[in-house]
Amino acid sequence: MSWPVVSSRYLHRDDWVVALREDVITRPGHPEQFSRISLEHPGAVIVMAVDEHERVRCLRQYRHTSGHEFVELPAGLRDAADEPPVETAKRELREEVELEASDWRLLLSTWSSAGISDEVHDIFLARGLSHAPRGDFEMRHEEAEMEVFWTPVTDLLEAVLQGRVRQGPLAQAVLAYEVLRQRGTLEAH
């Protein structure tokens, strides 16, 4: 479903990832026009990598936009043309935390902020982990300062429920994992 668009113009567009667009739209069957700002984004993948000891591979990374350091999961942009989301997830897991997984499962696919952006997050569960070299990927900028660590799933769940860990995709992944665990639909690895 799409409401009628009277006009569109780009407020910002560059060679990186996002574009900011202003659309003038109308409600179906109504002449009143109004504008909405849209952040165009290619989408992202997030990987909850869980080892045989029920520990999650996490990152601690500074994010300039919010001015905070966050506990996050390995993640990356869907910026490689026509690459399936699971392949992007595999690449990001290898590049960011030097792991590969033998078992992949889509946990969730969510809109990051549907009122302002078309960004979709594909959140994967990765199991059957082993070391994998990063290859020629170079950690730069904020990534160069990332701390990589393991934490038990139960501790991460408590941190989310207590509001100490507030990064959205991580919270969604941990909560979905717990629901599936309680239902008995996760295979042990």
Map residue 76 onto helix, strand or coil: strand
Asked if 77 contacts 17 with a C-beta cutoff of 8 angstroms, the reply is yes
Please say if 143 is a catalytic residue.
yes
d(CA 161, CA 47): 20
Asked if 76 contacts 91 with a C-beta cutoff of 8 angstroms, the reply is yes
CB atoms under 10 Å from CB of 109, counted, come to 13
Q: How far apart are the first and last CA of the chain?
A: 42
Asked if 169 contacts 113 with a C-beta cutoff of 8 angstroms, the reply is no
Q: Is 28 exposed, middle or buried (0-12, 13-18, 19+ CB in 10 A)?
A: exposed
Strand 120-131 with 19-26, pairing: unpaired
Of the candidates 95, 143, 147, 178, the residue annotated as catalytic is: 143
For 78-119, strand residue ranges (E) read: 99-111
Catalytic residue positions?
A: 143
